[in-house]
């Protein structure tokens, strides 16, 4: 199988600065996206430090003998947590900064994903879009417990409150999974600035109707801005092609 990667981020239409960060690194099969929070530019620092640390750690860890993608990815995200937490302890203005993360590593057979917070991984397969991550947010926990409906969850004003984030404590619990990849799959990583504003149907329509991949990334951002653009928006895309195409 062959893969292509694309990413894009935009400040949106209401926020003064962009606290989302996104990196793709086809050489190691990596896409990583982070949505930062915290005053005095702390959100921007946290999300950028997260993406940079995960990328740099994986370059080292994947080169080691008998490197295993899942262990390498989890160690890289744990290292990002530690670096952001230490930076926030050193610099009073950054106290309490943190970030979400969703990181996906493609090895040709599996897509290994690690995530914390409400940035998501979706898979588009044969026209149908499925979320492969479950948000670490207060409303998502209430939906799981049957306290509110998924539809009400989309409308509550506190839907962005996280129950877990990177960098706010000395350690963090990281969710992870491995997904078997099929030719024709497209994977989307995105921040809540996208999935809060677009329905699954709208996201799928952008992905199905737009090629090449770089243009699809911007089509998603344009659609979120057209829907109000009330938050920063970041997306990363991984497309899988059969070898003989």
Question: In this structure, is the dihedral angle defined by the CA atoms of residues 215, 154, 116 and 174, taken in order, positive or negative?
Answer: negative
Give residue for tokens 């996206």.
33
Task: Give the HSE-up count for residue 126: Cα atoms under 13 Å, Cβ half-sphere.
Answer: 2
Residue 90 sits at φ, ψ, to 5 deg, of -75, -40
To the nearest whole angstrom, how small is the minimum distance from the Cβ of residue 19 to Ca ion? 7
Least separation in angstroms between CB 193 and Ca ion: 5
Name which of 69 and 229 has its Cβ closer to Ca ion. Answer: 229
Long-range contacts of 151-156, Cβ-Cβ distance < 8 Å, separation of 24 or more: 154/196
Q: How many CB atoms lie within 10 A of CB 173?
A: 7
Residue ranges that bind Ca ion, judged by CB under 5 A: 35, 191-193, 231
- Which C-beta is closer to Ca ion: that of 185 or that of 231? 231
Tell me the β-bridge partners of 124. Answer: 129, 186
Q: What angle do CA 195, 199, 204 make, to 5 degrees?
A: 95
Shortest separation between residue 192's beta carbon and Ca ion, angstroms: 5
Nearer to Ca ion, 111 or 223 (CB): 223
Q: What token pair was written down for 175?
A: 């969710």
Q: How far is the CB of 227 from Ca ion (least distance, A)?
A: 14
The residue assigned the tokens 């994947």 is 62
- We find the least distance from the C-beta atom of residue 232 to Ca ion, in angstroms, to be 6
DSSP single-letter state for residue 65:
T
Residue among 62, 50, 3 nearest 191 (CA): 50
Q: How far is the CB of 183 from Ca ion (least distance, A)?
A: 32
- Pick between residue 81 and residue 191 the one whose CB is nearest to Ca ion: 191
Q: Which is nearer to Ca ion, 69 or 193 (CB)?
A: 193
33 close to 48: Cβ distance less than 8 angstroms: no
Q: Output the smallest distance, CB 197 to Ca ion, in A.
A: 11
| 44 vs 57, beta carbon nearer Ca ion | 44
Q: Give the residue with the Cβ less far from Ca ion, 29 or 193.
A: 193
């Amino acid at each position: 199988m062959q893969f292509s990667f694309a990413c894009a981020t935009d400040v949106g239409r209401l926020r003064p600065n962009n606290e989302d960060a996104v990196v793709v690194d086809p050489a190691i099969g990596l896409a990583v996206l982070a949505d930062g929070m915290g005053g005095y530019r702390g959100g921007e620092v946290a999300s950028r430090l997260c993406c940079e640390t995960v990328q740099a750690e994986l370059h080292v860890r994947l080169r080691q003998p008998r490197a295993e993608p899942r262990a390498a990815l989890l160690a890289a995200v744990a290292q990002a947590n530690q670096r952001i937490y230490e930076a926030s302890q050193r610099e009073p203005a950054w106290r309490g900064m943190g970030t979400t993360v969703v990181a996906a590593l493609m090895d040709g057979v599996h897509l290994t994903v690690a995530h914390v917070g409400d940035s998501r991984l979706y898979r588009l397969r044969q026209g149908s879009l499925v979320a492969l991550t479950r948000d670490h947010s207060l409303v998502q926990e209430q939906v799981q417990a049957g306290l509110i409906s998924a539809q009400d969850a989309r409308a509550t004003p506190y839907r962005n409150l996280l129950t877990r984030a990177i960098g706010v404590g000395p350690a963090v619990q990281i969710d992870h999974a491995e997904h078997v990849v099929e030719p024709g799959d497209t994977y989307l990583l995105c921040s809540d600035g996208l999935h809060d504003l677009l329905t699954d149907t709208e996201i799928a329509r952008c992905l199905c109707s737009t090629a090449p991949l770089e243009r699809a990334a911007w089509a998603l951002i344009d659609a979120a801005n057209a829907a109000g653009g009330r938050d920063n928006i970041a997306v990363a895309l991984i497309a899988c092609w059969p070898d003989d195409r």
